[in-house]
Every structure is written in C-alpha cells, then in structure tokens.
Chains A and B, each alone.
Chain A
C-alpha cells in the first residue's frame, strides 16, 4: 500500500496507541502483577495452594452454580425478550426498564434482600418454612441470586436480534406448512442462537466472579458451599496472599478457557453457515 495515500479513516496510530495503553494499564498490568505474586514462590507451593481440596471444592461450587444459573437464565431471558419484543401490552415499557435493575443495583444489596426475604423471619421464608421448605443458605438460594444478577445479559443480547428478525421468514415457514413449533426450532432458533450463546457466556462469567451477593445468601462453609471469589477474599483476610493469588489464577484461567471455547465453537458454527 502506498504510504502517502490518504487513508479513509485517519488516526489509526493514535487510536491503536490509546487502546494498547488502556488495555495495558487496566487489564494486563494488574493481571501481570497477580501472576508475578502467584509465581514468586516456588511452583510446588503454587500447585499445592491452587489445588488444595478446599480450593477445588470452591472452584466446583462456583462453576456449577454459575453454569446452572446461566443455563436457566438463557431460557428465562429468551422468554422475557420474546414477550417484550413480540407483544404490545400495558406496562411493557416499564417492564423493559426494570430489566436493567440488576445491572444498576449493587449486588450486595441483592444478596442482602434475598437473604432477608428467604430467612426464617422474612416474608417468603416464613411462608415457605411453614410448608417445610427451608431455603436459607442453600445451593438453591445462591443460584437464585445469581439468576437475578445475570438475567439482563441474556435479555439485552437476544432482544435486538429478535427485533431485527425478518417477519417474512416466519410467514414463509408457515406458508410452507411449518407449525409454530417447527418454525421456532428451524427458523427462529438458528437466527438467535449466536446472541443466546453470547448472553449465556456473559451471564456465566458474571456468575463466576460474583461475590457481593453470595456472601450474604450462602453459608460460605469451606469444602461445602464456599465459592471461588469468597475463598479468595477469606484467604486474603487470613493474610495468605499466595494462596489467594493461586486460586485467582486458576479461576481466571478456567473462565478464560471456557469463554474462549464458547467463542471458538460459535465461530466454527457460523463459518459452517
């Protein structure tokens, strides 16, 4: 390319420079410091703390809860997005605005509200308790609070795609003899699947990193209900900085690997058509 030829979009140098600086300061530098901290001791220590049984159980708790919540959110989010896009009803705009609340609300507030509401003396907890259902400090309640913090991701990623969806396609499917279910599976689903997967990944990543709400609703028992982020904080409080950073590295790598895998699968699916 002729270096003297004027480019259509000027400022490539300065914008790339800014991007790199930004990424470096805000993302790479802290992560590098974390790596350095974790690996500054001998590798044996790192592996011992990273794969300590308590850590393993915390990873499992985090992943299983975040995964379950994200999966449920995918269905619930799709349903909500569908209702918001497809139907016109009184209060639709209000409902649309309410969707964003979990984004805005501090998660500790969500955790606090959920734990109070479902405690033995809370409104819902009392009623459920009378019927023999005790949710306080259960796995279920933690997933419930993760559902709350994660569902806007699915709604907000699927909603625009549903809105853009060409009505002709559904009419074409119907005229070709497809019933509503067949139309949904063969025509609508393939179009919104990429957005749905993105929403799932975002909700999943959100659940993995969740701390503020979980400390309130979970019993946070080591080996049993403690999650990764909670473990890291309690290690820090114990002044076991190396243990904390080792766990952080594992969480980071695992999440990164998971998101990378989802993205790769999605890319491959798209290039296959």
Chain B
C-alpha cells in the first residue's frame, strides 16, 4: 500500500515542527526519514501513523484519505524507539495483543504468534518477560508485535537507536532481509546516515521541518543537493575559494574541471582526495601529516595546511597508504579526484 503525504504542516506552540512537507512512499518501498534531532522526522512519522494530527495537509494510504481517521482503524504497525513493550505481559502476550483485542480465537492467536516468533527468530522465548530480554531481542519482539495484525504499513521510530554497534549492524541487515521477504511499505526514522543508507530504498533528508532532498541513497550520496546534505551524510573537507572563469580557485589548489556545482566553497569527501609525494597535479595543496589512523578497511590521514592551519582529512586505500610511506610530520601534496562546489549559504 502506498503512502502519500501532501503539504503537511504542524506547529507545537512556537515551534514549527513541519513546514509544508510532501512525500510519496510507493507500495513495497522501504523509506528512511533522515535528519538531525529536531528536524521533524519523528513528527512526520507520527502523523503518518495517526499519533498526531497535522495542522494542515493530508495523509493518504493508497486511495484512502486517513488524515483524521482513528488510529485504531488505520491498521499500521508501529515500532517505538524504546519499544514500549508491555512489561507485565510475556513475549507471547505482547505479540498476541493486537489479535486479542481483535477477538481472535485462541487457536488462531497461537498459530499467528508462533509464525511471528519464527519470523523474528525468537522461538522458545514465548514465556519470557520483556525484562529478561536483551535490547536486540526486545526490538524484535516489538517488531513482531507490530506485524501481528498484518498491517499494511510498517513504521519504525529510530529502530536501531538504543542498540550497540554490533547488534545494530546485525539488526540492520536482518531488517533489510525481512523487508525483502515480506515487502511491506515501511518508513523508518533515523539520525544515522549509515542506518539510512544500509537499509532504505529511498532516503528523505530533512532539516528544520523541511525536506532538503529525497531520492535513492546512491543518488543522494553522489549528488547532494546542498551543503547541508553533503555535510550530514559524512565527513567532508571544505575549502574556501573563489570562482574564476567558471573554475573554482582554492586557497591552495585548483580542482579538476569535472566538478559539480557553481559555488565559491569547495566540498571534497575524504575518499575523493589523494596524496602525492611530489607536486604532480596542477595546483595541489601542501599539507603536513599530523595523524595516520587505520579505520576499518581504510587509512585515515589527517593533514594540516601550514598556511591556513586548516585540517584536511584524506581516506586512502591501505595499499596506496603503504606505497606513500606515511608518517607524522611528512609533507605531502593533496589533490582532489572530484569536487563539488556550493554557495556558502548555510550554517549548522
């Protein structure tokens, strides 16, 4: 079932939580609402669920207008950030709650709950209480509970927020696989771009109650619409420069001509910079290495521009790093493989 949000605005007192926001979630799509805290992403999710009523605008499920319909009638699955499991109920009772209030027969409830226990891989834990479960298990119980009454839409509020890194990445992969199995239209909220990019089909980046950009993860990552999106999606080196003959001039170097954008500030991701022992590329910048850190599969090199004392972060493949014999204090030439320029219009 598709979800369509049109021109939705919501105010809380003096705070404009959402300002004329529209999104389309196609049927079977897994969409991520991404943004810093206070950007309105959770409010938007709650409006889609029916937990908040928008001040203006409309929400439609497929062809049905649901903006003002009762939350009980919408049949959405919702997973709360802190799970909101019923503490006095066992895992079985939690998962079966939606069925019991719908007056399903005991045998049908048993059957459905055991199906779900299998789906979320919690077989044998039916009689446990929520307090006896780990964070990841609670999350899966919350998910099974949300799926019990076969909702048409699944909404998740910061589904990985309260988990440690390892469980988080496992659950991420698992959620992605689950989505491929059941193909339910899903929307989840996150402030972590890794969550969004690892799981979602489509990402909506939000700021201050507005949508900054929406599209496929690769699209957004490769072609950020503005400096905010670029900055939010990961570390970025910013060089203040000026434009000359349509080519951005940097304090130290000139970027390659295939750069994107037409602004005065140049944005380069750490992995899009390369280091050279000698000045090979026209207009390279000179920097002194101050730190070399192996981070996962890459080597992260931190350099300082001796003139402006600006810090430059460069991510290198470890083979390339070996070649260059990196060490602290060594002077290197920095040149970009790819740049983007934006007008200096924003501040965080």
A interface, CB within 8 angstroms of B: 166, 168-169, 171-179, 182, 186-187, 190-191, 273
Contact = CB atoms under 8 A, between A and B. Distances in A.
Given A175-B74, A177-B98, 20 more contacts: A172-B78, A173-B86, A174-B71, A174-B72, A175-B50, A175-B76, A175-B77, A175-B78, A176-B148, A177-B75, A177-B101, A178-B72, A178-B97, A178-B101, A179-B72, A186-B97, A186-B101, A190-B88, A191-B88, A273-B89
Contacts of A169: 84, 86
Contact of A176 (B50, B87, B88, B97): B97
B51 A175 contact: yes
A98 B303 CA distance: 68
B17 interface: no
B102 interface: yes
Size category of the binding interface on chain B: 20 to 34
B84 A171 contact: yes
23 contacts: A168-B84, A171-B84, A172-B78, A172-B80, A172-B84, A173-B86, A173-B97, A174-B72, A175-B49, A175-B74, A175-B146, A176-B146, A176-B149, A177-B102, A177-B149, A178-B72, A178-B97, A178-B101, A179-B101, A186-B86, A186-B97, A186-B101, A273-B129
Among A169, A172, A273, chain B packs the most CB atoms within 10 A around the CB of A172
Contacts of A186: 86, 97, 100-101
B10 interface: no
B98 A166 contact: no
A194 to B, nearest CB: 10
Contacts of A178: 72, 97, 101
A171 B49 CA distance: 10
B145 A176 contact: yes
Contacts of B100: 186
A176 B101 contact: yes
Among A168, A169, A175, A182, chain B packs the most CB atoms within 10 A around the CB of A175
Contacts of B88: 190-191, 273
Contacts, number: 61
B97 A171 contact: no
A96 to B, nearest CB: 24
Contacts of B82: 168
Given A169-B84, A171-B80, A172-B84, A177 B72 contact: yes
Nearest to A191: B88
A56 to B, nearest CB: 41
Among B72, B90, B149, chain A packs the most CB atoms within 10 A around the CB of B72
A13 B77 CA distance: 55
Contacts of A187: 86
Contacts of B77: 175
Contacts of A168: 80, 82, 84
Report the 8 A-B pairs with minimum CB-CB distance, sorted nearest first: A168-B84, A176-B98, A172-B84, A190-B88, A178-B101, A175-B78, A174-B71, A168-B80
A182 B74 CA distance: 17
A35 to B, nearest CB: 41
A43 B51 CA distance: 69
A172 B77 CA distance: 9
Contact of B90 (A171, A172, A175, A273): A273
Contacts of A173: 86, 97, 101
Contacts of A166: 84
